[in-house]
Amino acid sequence: MKVLLVFTALLAAVFSRTTFEGDQVVRITPKDEAQIIRIQEMIEFEHLQLDVWLEPTTQPGHPIDIHVPFGSLQAVKAFLESNGIQYSIMIKDLQRLLDEEAIQTKRSRIMGQPRNTDSFNYAAYHKLDEIYSWMDMLVNENPTLVSKIEIGRSYEKRPLYVLKFSTGGSGRPAIWLDMGIHSREWVTQASGIWMAKKIATDYGRDASLTSILNKMDIFIEIVTNPDGYSYTHTNNRMWRKTRSINAGSSCVGVDPNRNWDAGFGGAGASGNPCTETYRGPFAHSESEVKAIVDFVKSHGNFKEFISIHSYSQMLLYPYGYIRTPVPNQDELVGFSVHSQHTLSTKAVSALSSLYGTKYRYGSIIDTIYQASGGTIDWTYNQGIKYSFSFELRDTGRYGFILPANQIIPTAAETWLAVMTLMEHARDHPY
């Protein structure tokens, strides 16, 4: 009887998981604005159930990556070919890639539970409970430097944990980093774990980091969307949004990076709950977003805010919802009268110095597309003038399914850029 119950439970787990056999990721390259419009029209055909991985930009020649279900492949390819739109196949069978990822993840667990943060496997993807256990170990090992704060609860009542790195004092200027607001971007949460360990390890050893922490606090929210992240491990690896219930709709979740009160409801966000960029019923409707908003406001002294996403290898700054340049754009780009090598240019150069990884940089609206309700537009409007967003590796070969052997290289190179940004915030107080 016990064997039967176990087998039944295993079957339930298998059949509750969304699979993607035969699905492909198609890269589309529009040659002009007319083709961009036609592609956008195709994306809006709900019956095709397209999942956009790289959004259309306003600039012809920039790639658009779309996850196409097997049942829609023929229709999509016929549409593109009839309109003379160039495309190629980036991922031939999405499920095969996911199966390979799952095998690697299971192999990493054979090592058993880590005894401490030194024996933790930073080159693997981990479930939510494993990450939370790791946080507790890091705090226990570094009680005078690291603490864990619960800033709220998710829609499904999971704790929203933030690690605080501080050498003492209250109300000090602070730096914020978050990862995983879009739950399927696993390399971001994994990079956050590595970076938090790096801070704990390097304090007192690395002069620059030590100087930063002697003047400022650092807050890291490694899993910003825990409901979505848990769901990617149990049901649907490609889940992006929160898991909140939408009144009057069978479609679940809100895009938490369209839910902020910065041009909320404008272009680049959807009012349709069944889309991946659904903005939500009102600004800050999502508890995961509202928790950060309340924490940032109550703290009142954040000087830098860095939100980390994947993929496409970019460093972005405001604005996304309007074309108006931010007042300190020259400084953000690196053409400030005070310094010719600050922030974006210097950060991207530092990142590239490790493995030669190339990044683009610029404002959201000019570099990728118009997007309203975004995180760093809101933080900038709150007076946090050093507000940035990263899009980590890669440029589309694997997309959101970045192999685990790229976690540490991705985190290490990104850390060099993050350090550059934090050093600038330290050296340019306001």
Active site residues: 391
> Is the Cβ–Cβ distance between 121 and 131 less than 8 Å?
no
Q: Which of 304, 298, 273 is nearest to 389 (CA)?
A: 304
> Is the Cβ–Cβ distance between 411 and 199 less than 8 Å?
no
What is the secondary structure of 227-295 as a DSSP string?
Answer: HHHHHHHHT-TT--S--PBPTT-S-B---TTS-SSSSTTSTTSBS-TTSTTB--SSTT-SHHHHHHHHH
Q: Give dist(CA 406, CA 67) in Å, integer.
A: 22
For the CA atoms of 191, 109, 183, 362, what is the dihedral angle to 10 degrees? 20
Q: Give dist(CA 374, CA 5) in Å, integer.
A: 46
b/e burial code for range 134-164 (CB count within 10 A of at least 16 → b)? bbebbbeebeebbeeeebbebbeebebbbbe
The partner residues of 164 in beta bridges, in order of sequence, read: 147, 219
Coil/strand/helix, residue 164: strand
Angle at 192 between CA 191 and CA 197, to 5 degrees: 100
> Is the Cβ–Cβ distance between 178 and 307 less than 8 Å?
yes
Coil/strand/helix, residue 362: strand
Token code pair at residue 356? 């030669």
